[in-house]
Amino acid sequence: MEPLLLMGLFFAFLASSLHIAVAIGLAVITFTFFYPIGNLSFIALNMYTGLYSFPLLAIPFFCLVGSIMEGGGLSSRLVNVASRAVGNKTSGLAIVTILACLFFGAISGSAPATVAAIGSIMFPEMQKHGYHREFAAGLIATAGGLGIIIPPSVPMVVYGVGTQTSIGDLFLCGIIPGVICGAFLMAVSVMIGKKRGYGGSGEKISRRETWRAVWDAKWALALPVIILGGIYNGIFTPTEAGVVGCIYALFVACCIYRELTFRKVVDIFVDNASVVGIIFLTFGVANSLSFLVSYTQLPAALTALMTSISQNKYVVLAIINVFLLIVGMLMDTMSANLIFSPLLLAIVLPLGVDRVHFGIIVTINLALGFVTPPMATNLYLTSALTKVPVPDVVRESLPFIAAMIAALFLVTYIPDLSTGILKWVR
């Protein structure tokens, strides 16, 4: 009864259109009126202990890196490299958009930041070359989710902190699944492009021009190498990598490309402060909810329910994937990650599922949550950015969502696609 009441209160307050942090906090406080477990000081204590985490500091720094890239000219140079490489092929600009999202995601770790940075550059270009506005918007909304699959990834940091999993291993194991998701999106883009006659940019691009674009973007391309290489070689931790990335991006944007003014830097820091404040507030109250979840023995109840349905790990993983896809429609990414990842991990660990592999599964599901209504942050952001109505964005996103789901199940049932890379580096 207690677990049902706790979850019922949470979803009831969530359905009332309150901010997620307020909904969680009210659910926790209301629950204590029915089942007293002491005074409410445990809420403040759990908020403090939840935020007192060194790895958690990586989140604001990676968010900041993405904003600096967007405003400092790094993202536009990454797009130029992708355009020179494949821009003149069938559906070339669609492929360029996906590649640019992969490049940008390898630095920012944020899906909305990827949509904002790449969408503002690629949407006008795709329109100019005859792509339907709705198709371009649907592609940008979905491909933006690659920003959290390719490391470094903010949701991977949250999962790592919440489940005591190595963030470095999560970053390393996210590379191949991210590329697979990107490849599936490219395949769908080419199929649609052939049917609708979407050509490339029409430019004849020489190797010399391609190498010139690569050379111009060398400082931007070096950033993911510095971040990921430093982590995997033990030079610095993921949190320290975020700091290094911020300093490097600021230096490149201000001193080399010279596209960031002091005023722009101040605006970037102010905007990120508000975003990070909301993230950390949600993280704090979610930690209090996690305490009550443990108190009510909800993990044990869920485990018993799942094992009563099936003890086959592949069936259980399929059920969890469907569950997470539904959760992604109803909750924001970070809250879903904080609340459900520890619960679901407790179910799959006894079945022999690797915790890092499960982290990649969760992350891909959460990436889909950015483009599946009603939450669908990427859909609304893309609609605002492109002025394409949300229903039209949703309709054109469906083939790409299907491709991402296919990639999700491929990664789910072939663990070596994610964790296999660990065998090569250890």
Q: What is the DSSP string of 186-233?
A: HHHHHHHHHHHT---------HHHHHHHHHHTHHHHHHHHHHHHHHHT
User: Please, is 270 exposed, middle or buried when counting C-beta atoms within 10 Å of its C-beta (0-12, 13-18, 19+)?
Assistant: exposed
Residue 185 domain-assigned? yes
- How big is the chain, counted in residues? 426
Residue 162 domain-assigned? yes
Residue 35 domain-assigned? no
Residue 7 domain-assigned? no
Q: What would the pLDDT profile of 294-329 be if each residue is shown by its tens digit? A: 777 776 777 677 778 888 889 999 999 998 888 887
Helices (H), 217-354: 218-232, 238-251, 262-295, 298-309, 313-330, 333-348
Residue 331 domain-assigned? yes
3-state secondary structure of 419: helix
From first to last of its 426 residues, the chain has per-residue pLDDT tens of: 677 787 788 778 877 767 767 888 888 888 888 877 766 777 777 777 767 767 677 778 877 887 787 778 777 787 778 777 765 666 788 888 898 888 888 777 778 878 877 887 888 888 888 889 999 999 999 999 998 898 888 889 889 988 989 988 999 999 999 999 999 999 999 999 988 888 765 566 667 777 888 888 888 888 888 887 887 778 888 788 888 988 998 999 888 888 888 888 888 888 878 777 777 777 777 777 777 777 777 767 776 777 788 888 899 999 999 988 888 877 777 778 888 898 899 889 988 999 999 999 999 999 998 888 766 778 888 888 888 898 899 999 999 999 999 999 999 999 999 998 887 776
Is residue 138 within 8 A of residue 386, CB to CB? The reply is no
Domain residues for 321? 19-24+40-425
Provide CB contacts within 8 A for 52, sequence distance 6+.
none
Is residue 159 within 8 A of residue 170, CB to CB? The reply is yes
Is residue 123 within 8 A of residue 386, CB to CB? The reply is yes
Predicted local confidence at residue 71, as pLDDT = 79
The angle formed by the CA atoms of residues 117, 364 and 61, to the nearest 5 degrees, is 45
Residue 284 domain-assigned? yes
Instruction: Give the pTM.
Output: 0.79
If one counts the domains in the chain, the total is 1
Q: What would the pLDDT profile of 275-301 be if each residue is shown by its tens digit? A: 777 777 777 777 777 777 777 777 677
Rounded Cα distance, 160 and 245, in Å: 20
Residue 343 domain-assigned? yes
Specify the residue for token string 């709705």.
134
| 183 Cα distance to chain centroid | 17
Residue 271 domain-assigned? yes
Half-sphere exposure of 255 (CA within 13 A, CB side): 7
Q: Taking each helix axis as running N to C, give the angle between helix 416-425 and helix 355-369, from 0 to 180 degrees, rounded to the nearest 10.
A: 130
